[in-house]
Amino acid sequence: MAEQLIIVGSTREQKYQALLPQIEALLEGERDHTANQANVAAALRETFGFFWVGFYRVEGDELVLGPFQGPIACTRIGFGKGVCGSCWQLKKTILVPNVDEFPGHIACSSASRSEIVVPFFDDQGQVALVLDVDSDRLADFDEVDQHHLEALARSIRHRVC
Ligand code: SME
């Protein structure tokens, strides 16, 4: 296993292109989902310096907090609640340029200003896990993040859920 990430490039696009194959390599051969989620959260935060990066897994009718990097966060989120619960309900990525304008946003920290939440699907096409990435800057995420994080979700889903 590589001991450090090598990120070349200056744009976010270039960084994703450098990072994603390294995440795939990092997870290769490791089948523990918790360990893999932990390394994905760490790799994304280390590369981009995001305020909070972490996973919530589906447990019955709730999402439960999984491995994350950043300040402490709320542990349970209901179906359809907040950005994460809406991502689960709608089965699609949700980009929130300004969390104050998202009805029902769950503020784990007042420093979080924008976020993106990406679903991970099981073999039956059900949401099994969501990846939540928060920024302390307004409108920090766009289609570049969505494209690459969705590609990551497709490529590593069997390693994380
Ligand atoms: N903001 C999220 C809750 C999770 S945290 O921000 C870590 C939401 O509205 O679902």
Q: Please indicate whether residue 87, judged by its CB atom, sits closer than 6 Å to ligand 1.
A: no
Whether 1 has a pLDDT exceeding 70, the answer reads no
Within-domain flag for 5: no
Q: Please indicate whether residue 52, judged by its CB atom, sits closer than 6 Å to ligand 1.
A: yes
Domains in the chain, number: 1
Within-domain flag for 123: yes
Q: Please indicate whether residue 77, judged by its CB atom, sits closer than 6 Å to ligand 1.
A: yes
Q: Which domain holds residue 132?
A: 12-160
Average confidence (pLDDT) over 136-142: 98
The single residue listed with the structure tokens 């179906």 is 79
Q: Please indicate whether residue 134, judged by its CB atom, sits closer than 6 Å to ligand 1.
A: yes
Within-domain flag for 1: no
Q: Please indicate whether residue 108, judged by its CB atom, sits closer than 6 Å to ligand 1.
A: yes
Separation of alpha carbons 22 and 39, rounded Å: 11
Separation of alpha carbons 157 and 42, rounded Å: 17
What is the atom index within ligand 1 of the atom nearest the CA of 106? 9
Within-domain flag for 3: no
Nearest CA to ligand 1 atom 1: 106
Q: Which residues of 108-140 are buried (b: 16+ CB within 10 A; e: fewer)?
A: beeebbbbbbbbbeeeeeebbbbbbbbbeeeeb
**Per residue in 63-105, pLDDT tens?**
999 999 999 999 999 999 999 999 999 999 999 999 999 999 9
CATH code, domain carrying 17: 3.30.450.40
Give the predicted TM-score (pTM) of the model: 0.97
